[in-house]
Structure 1
Amino acid sequence: MSSKAERWAAREIVSTYHEARLTELVQRVGDAVDSLRAGEIDAFEVDHVIFQYSRAAKELWKFCNLADIQITARAIGDSPPLDWWQRGAPSRR
């Protein structure tokens, strides 16, 4: 059985990871909006980015919130980095 301190430390690891990855995803949306404003892309392309962001953020949320917090914290430390943006990509038919 894990101690309260171990669970708290695991929550901090997961929370920090979640915020950092979410910030990366949000930055992609911000970049797309900036590109729209600069006339570099159209509204449909921004919509595609927002759609992919939504899917990626949901996958990230599930990873950070649905498993045992200590298992998730270990996975963050032991596994190679996951590409959350790619995980949100719509499947091609």
Structure 2
Amino acid sequence: MSSEADRRTAQEAVAAYHEAELARLVEGVGEAIDGFRSGKLDAFAVDEAFFQYSRAARELWKFCNSRSVDLTVSLIIGNRPSIDWWERGALRKR
């Protein structure tokens, strides 16, 4: 079992990861809004981007908060491929 200091360090690492990934998701929404303002996207496309952001942010939150912090840190810093949260939030075409 990890010490309290180790646990706090792990929680800070997960929080930093969560914030950085959330910032990337917000960038996706910002790009959609910029596309709308420039006339490249219509309101429906921007709404879809908001919906995708919401789904992606929910999946990110679950990843960061639904298991032990030690396991989450090991997944974040391990040699695993990075997770594309924006793609995880995409609607699946049937």
- Give me the TM-score of the superposition, normalised by structure 2: 0.95
Letter in 2 for 1:41: L
User: CA offsets, 1:49-80, max 9 Å, x none?
Assistant: 11111100000000001110111011100022
Find the aligned partners of 1:89 and 1:66 in 2 and give their Cα distance. 21
- Provide the residue aligned with 1:92 in structure 2: 93
- Extract unaligned runs of 5+ from structure 2: none
Structure 1 stretches of 5 or more lacking a match?
none
Q: Which runs of 4+ in 1 moved over 2 A?
A: none
CA-CA distance at 1:40 after TM superposition: 1.1
Q: Does 1:5 align with 2:5?
A: yes
Percent identity, please.
Answer: 54
* CA-to-aligned-CA distance 1:21-42 (integer Å, 9 cap, x gap): 0000001101111110111110
**1:43-58 equivalence runs, <5 A:** 43-58=43-58
One-letter amino acid of the counterpart of residue 44, structure 2: F
2:91 corresponds to 1:82: no
> Separation in 2 of the partners of 1:38 and 1:86?
24
After TM superposition, give the deviation of residue 81 of structure 1 in Å.
Answer: 0.7
Taking structure 1 as the reference length, the TM-score comes to 0.96
Q: Which residue of 2 aligns with 1:39?
A: 39
C-alpha separation in 1, matches of 2:81 and 2:15 = 18
The SS at the match of 1:90 is coil
- Equivalent residue letter for 1:16: A
